[in-house]
Structure 1
Amino acid sequence: MNKINLQGLLSNQALFRHISPFELDALQKEVVKLELDKGLTLFQKGDLADGSYIVVYGLMKLGIPSSHGNDKVLELIRPGQSFGEAMLFLDEPYPFYAEALEPTLLLRLPKNALFRLLEQSPLIAKQMMAGLSSRLLGFMRDVERHSLQNAKQRVIDYLLQVSGIQGTANIRLELKKNLVASLLNLSPETLSRVLHQLVDDDLIQVSGSHIRITCPESLKVYQHSEALNFRQTPENLMKNNATARHFI
């Protein structure tokens, strides 16, 4: 990639949008472009954290490997989002692996270059803190969702979220259904059962990895009614506390 294209990519990233031309010129000399084919792993759990990454296009999965083959999906990283910064500040190895779910272009910012940039630019430091805080809030909402929502609510919440991201009611699942189940902290069997129930209720139509939400407003109303019907019984409360402890 030539200098002009790399400069354009950097200047279009929210994190670097307001840096000076001098800082941008210095940054592009240290940033590395990485292209990953679908299914390739960027790093494994336990690898030394020596850089942060920004997704230009594509989709990255962060997960925890399992000896039983049922990996736990932690997060999906989409274009414009970054990952890996927290481990740099903690000087810890990666506690997860990163895998490309689609052909993906990444920008890798080495640890020393990132720290030098943060020292030079309070604005970038503030923006990075905002990004890390936003992701922490996202994890907290996941804990809340897994603790306080039943299976139907979680699936509906996910479908509506993907619909919002893709800007259409005819959505394409970004993950295989077993990975969607892992992301929602459900078993694959439970996810399939919920999808069948939503189909039977004429709220969605399923064709392979494509799902059509017949009426988003009706799906939201259905989700709200599920919330009202989900009571905090002693049994549910015990499950919620156990889930919260698991995430903490």
Structure 2
Amino acid sequence: MIAVSLLEEYGGIIKNYKSGDFIFEEGNRPLHYYQIISGEVKMNNYNDEGKEFIQGIFYKNQCFGEPPLFIDQMYPANAVAVIDSEIIIITKDKFLDLLKNNSEISLKIIKNLSQRLYYKSVMAAEISSQDPEHRVLRLIDYSIEQLNFKKEEAGFLINFTRQQIGDLTGLRVETVIRAIKSLEKKGDLKIINRKVYR
């Protein structure tokens, strides 16, 4: 997203988080811009019964949690390291200075936010009205396009667990497993050594 060297010019500090560490919590005031150097981060909420809903999963070179920076609202979700992660952080004021001084990066951020907003709109429609197979396939296709999943000989490797697919689509894990098996039978997906390919 933004070159690490440029972030460091604006006072960026690299921090390490262990798997399971909270980077920020729902209800916190946003004070920083976060970008992943290595690792994986999820943004999530829990309902009253304690069921997790994943708002999004972010990978190397992606930023997360920046929308509240622009509107001065509290974080609507937690950010949690899925695996050990290295993240560069700069303060809100330095981040805004960086954007003011670098119009091409401002445009990148706008495009990134627009893609996420589009995804949320698409998935909201899918979750409310479509059958599980359709939801799973839509999530996978969107993720291939936006997250640059690796293409292997068998196809695109889907870098989500069944649990993550469930949490991203509002489906139970058992439903996701059945949907994936059905999609495999129809030839839409392949399962090789428990890994899912499109």
Q: TM-score, normalised by structure 1?
A: 0.67
Q: Which of 195, 210, 214 is the equivalent residue of 2:180? A: 195
Matched, 1:179 2:160: no
Query: 1:71 deviation in Å?
Result: 0.9
Partners in 1 of 2:156 and 2:66 — Cα distance? 34
Q: Which of 40, 45, 53 is the aligned partner of 1:59? A: 40
CA distance in 2, matches of 1:181, 1:88: 29
Tell me: CA distance 1:206–1:100, structure 2 relative to 1, closer, same or farther (3 Å): same
Alpha-carbon distance in 1 for matches of 2:18, 2:140: 26
For residues 34 and 193 of structure 1, do their structure 2 counterparts lie closer, same or farther at Cα, with a shift above 3 Å needed? same
RMSD over aligned CA atoms reads: 2.7
Select the structure of larger CA radius of gyration: 1
* Letter paired with 2:160: E
Secondary structure at the residue paired with 2:95? Answer: helix
Per-residue CA deviation, residues 48-103 of structure 1 (Å, 9 max, x unaligned), is 21011111121110111233221111111121211122111111111100111122
Pick one of 173, 187, 191 that aligns with 1:205: 191
Structure that is richer in strand per residue: 2
- Aligned positions, number: 192
Q: CA deviation at 1:196?
A: 3.2
1:15 maps to 2
Report the counterpart of residue 10 of structure 1 in structure 2: none
SS at match of 2:36: strand
Instruction: Answer whether contact 2:149 2:158 (CA < 8 A) is retained.
Output: no
Which is richer in helix? 1
The match for 1:102 is: 83
> SS at the partner of 2:83?
coil
Give the AA of the match of 2:47: S
Deviation at 1:166, TM superposition (A): 2.1
Residue 124 of structure 1 deviates from its aligned partner by: 2.6
Secondary structure of 2:51's partner? coil
Q: Secondary structure at the match of 1:140?
A: helix
- Report runs of 4+ in structure 1 exceeding 6 Å deviation: none
Write the mapping of 1:119-198 to structure 2, written as runs, cut at 5 A.
119-160=100-141, 165-168=149-152, 169=155, 171=157, 173-175=159-161, 177-198=162-183
TM-score by length of 2: 0.82
Distance 1:200 1:181, change over 3 A: same
**Alignment CA distance shift 1:91-1:159 (3 Å):** closer
CA distance in 1, matches of 2:14, 2:119: 28
Give the fraction of aligned pairs with identical amino acids, expressed as a percent. 20
Distance 1:153 1:201 in 2: 12
